Structure 1
Amino acid sequence: MGVIRTLFLLAAASVGAGAAAAVGSAYTTPSCADLLSGDARFDTAVVLGAGLAGDGTLGRASEARARAGLDLYQAGIVGHLHFTGDASEGRADPVARQMDTLAMAEGLPPSATSVEPLSRSTLENALFSQPRLARGGSLLLVSSGYHLWRGAASMAWAGAPVAAACQSARFDVRSPAHKAELVLLEGIKWPGNVARAALWSAGQAVGLGDYLPQKLLN
């Protein structure tokens, strides 16, 4: 019983720490709108995709993140937009492609964007995007506020650390209940991400990378 209680307390502490990180991320990271009047400049904005609406179009969070990136590009804050993510489950175009389509509709040239349409988790966002971002240059991470710290940690783990991050919105939802749900889910995802990233890195280090299932990072 003592072991079970200890494991339960460790799990609860891990989730609590993850939830605290989500709240800290939401309330301490700057708004992307605040960067529009500043002097900071970045080579690329990495825009993390979120979910889709019920009809298969961009969900509120995904569209808000894409538009935040567009505003940064049009203001000359960033020179390139990289969209990443797929939450379509085969029922619609990947989120990243839909964000790119939105950018094209707003007049951005094809050379101003790149797309990573296969990732289905934050770890995969980072890992699959890293080869496309390896050309160097400063990176700005764009996502929802509560998600930014975990996104930045994932980017650093994948070998593509960001120079800064900004939020499209703190939570993308209005009701306190939905905000609390997002914080709880983020609290659960944080320790899960740390464990999966550690296993993946350990496997790579000992030469077992080819045997690791890709679902480990989902």
Structure 2
Amino acid sequence: MPSNATRAAAATSATGSAQIGPARHINARTKRIAFSQSFQDHSGQRSKGEPIRTLIRILTTGAALLGLTALSTIGFTLTHQDTETPADVIVVIGARMSANGKLHRESLTRVDKGVALFTANLAPRIHFSGGRATPDGPSAGAQMARHAMAQGIPAAAISIEERSLSTLQNALFSKPMLADAQSILLVTEAFHLPRAKAGFWWMGYDNIQTAHSGRFRRAPDNTISLTMIGRETLAVWFNLGRAILWSATGRRHDDILQ
């Protein structure tokens, strides 16, 4: 039979084991609670930071798209070659004009390019598109036509669009006057040609030839205007948004395209 000492040792061991069991259970439960709280705190911090990360991703993506657009515009501007394929009509779209109807240099060079193409027999007609700087002033379309006629272009070969105030409206308002044209020869500066061509393509013209009146817009000191490159980069995406909105509203609100 076990001695009293042996029984006492066994009792002590059993009591110790009984005490250790609940202690381990409590300790494990405490760890689980602490882990759960830590996870919840981390999730809360992550949720609070998610809008900032989303905004950063949006800004980064936008900056990348604008950068690619700018590089593509510059690349096209530097490498564009004029077409040598005849078209049904030469389309010259207006640029800047003073309130009194005086055409700025970039408008005049576009007209001169159109006249040269007409003289080279690349089209039997020439169309000028451009609205008014002031409601009661002359239109850019009419002023460009006058400049062309002063160089010998017959009035019978000229058509004029006088309502447009943007590149998209150049395409929209010129369409009825060019309804019988199967192909057009589009004239503007090279940096502007991709956006202009996209606008006329959007209005249903598939056969669009292009010719540039100059490559870059020039500042008064004849240096390249980097501001215009930046503006053109933004205008590409702005035009896309306006075209989508105009289409979504039933193509009834032409002022959206200004």
- How high is the TM-score relative to the length of structure 1? 0.85
Paired with 1:84 and 1:161, the residues of 2 have a C-alpha distance of 19
- Percent identity, aligned pairs only, is 32
Match of 1:214 in 2: 254
State the distance in 2 between where 1:42 and 1:192 align: 30
Give the CA deviation at 1:70: 0.4
Q: Which runs of 5+ in 1 are unaligned?
A: none
**Alignment partner of 1:86 is 2:142:** no
- Secondary structure of residue in 1 paired with 2:92: strand
Contact 2:171 2:199 in 1 (8 A): yes
Partner of 2:218: 173
Report what 1:192 is aligned to.
Answer: 238
Match of 2:65 among 14, 22, 32: 14
Moved more, 185-194 or 51-60: 51-60
Q: Distance in 1 between matches of 2:99 and 2:138?
A: 13
Q: How far did 1:61 drift?
A: 0.7
Using the TM superposition, give the Cα deviation of residue 215 of structure 1 relative to its aligned residue in structure 2, in angstroms.
2.5
1:25-40 counterparts in 2 under 5 A?
25-31=76-82, 38=84, 40=85
Q: Which residue of 2 aligns with 1:153?
A: 198
Higher relative contact order (CA 8 A, sep 6+): 1
Partner of 1:5: 56
| Higher Cα Rg, which structure | 2
Structure 2 Cα separation of the partners of residues 94 and 12 of structure 1: 37
Report the aligned-residue RMSD.
Answer: 2.1
TM normalised by structure 2 equals 0.73
* Distance in 2 between residues matched to 1:162 and 1:61, nearest whole Å: 25
| Contact persistence 1:14–1:187 (CA under 8 A) | no
1:109-141 deviation per Cα after TM superposition (whole angstroms, max 9, x unaligned): 222011111111111111111121121332111
Stretches of structure 2 lacking an aligned partner (at least 5 in a row):
1-51
Alpha-carbon separation, structure 1, partners of 2:239 and 2:232: 10
* Structure 1 residue 98 corresponds to structure 2 residue 143: yes
